Amino acid sequence: MVDSSEIAKAVQAGESGTLELWIAVRRLALKFAIRWERALDGQSGMERDDFMQVAFIAMLDAVKSWDSQAGSFSTWFVIILKGAFTEAAGLRTARERNDPLRSAQSLDAPVTDENGEEVEGSDIVPDPAAERPFEDVAELDFTEKRRKAVEAALASLPEHLQETIRAKYYRGEKANNKDVNAALRALRHPLITNGLRPYLN
């Protein structure tokens, strides 16, 4: 069996190409693509080939951010892959991430890959304990990106409205309702909300 971790190390060191790594992880990506396609049943507008294209980009992102000291490349790839599929399918809010569809029985049911082989859910789902260190890193990264997005949005407001939002929502202090409403109206501008939308719950 090809060791994707060794290939990923070689790619990071510039000793191997991404195509070789893709060959090593493609079967894993395909298993997830099949599961997501069947579970969403066309509701996301994504087909298997679309998920596979997303998976290739996710692999490139994973190899850039993977720390070999923290665990195997395949485990990290799966975490990045889930996030990429979630985004591509439009399941970005906390409510959507917790939708029963994501954990429905259909996700655990056996599926058949493109070679006609039946794949069990246990062959696909990684060990949660092995995922945890990576998930912690991913959560910290998400939190930092969200903080930067919020700060960028606030920076678009006049200084007194920035302070109004920080007083009310950061420090829990009383604030002028007129100023709060003005700030919130300004933050609802499409040019601002587009940057905040991925982080809205």
pLDDT digit string (tens) for 82-91? 888 888 887 6
Phi, psi at residue 66, to the nearest 5°? -70, 135
Cβ atoms of residues 183 and 168 within 8 Å: no
Assess whether pLDDT exceeds 90 at residue 110. no
Residue 153 CB neighbour total at 10 angstroms = 20
Higher pLDDT, 164 or 143: 164
What are the C-alpha distances in Å from 103 to residues 1, 92, 134?
A: 29, 15, 20
pLDDT digit string (tens) for 7-18? 999 999 988 888
What are the C-alpha distances in Å from 125 to residues 29, 60, 183?
A: 12, 21, 44
Which H or E run includes 27? Answer: helix 18-40
15 by Cβ neighbours in 10 Å (0-12 / 13-18 / 19+) ranks as: exposed
Cβ atoms of residues 102 and 33 within 8 Å: no
Tokens of 138: 């991913």
Flag whether the pTM goes above 0.75. Answer: no
Query: Tell me, what's the pLDDT at 30?
Result: 93
pLDDT digit string (tens) for 21-55? 999 999 999 999 998 888 887 777 788 899 999 99
- 173/161 Cα distance (integer angstroms): 14
- 75/81 Cα distance (integer angstroms): 10
Assess whether pLDDT exceeds 60 at residue 138. no
Assess whether pLDDT exceeds 50 at residue 154. yes
pLDDT digit string (tens) for 161-183? 888 888 888 788 888 889 888 88
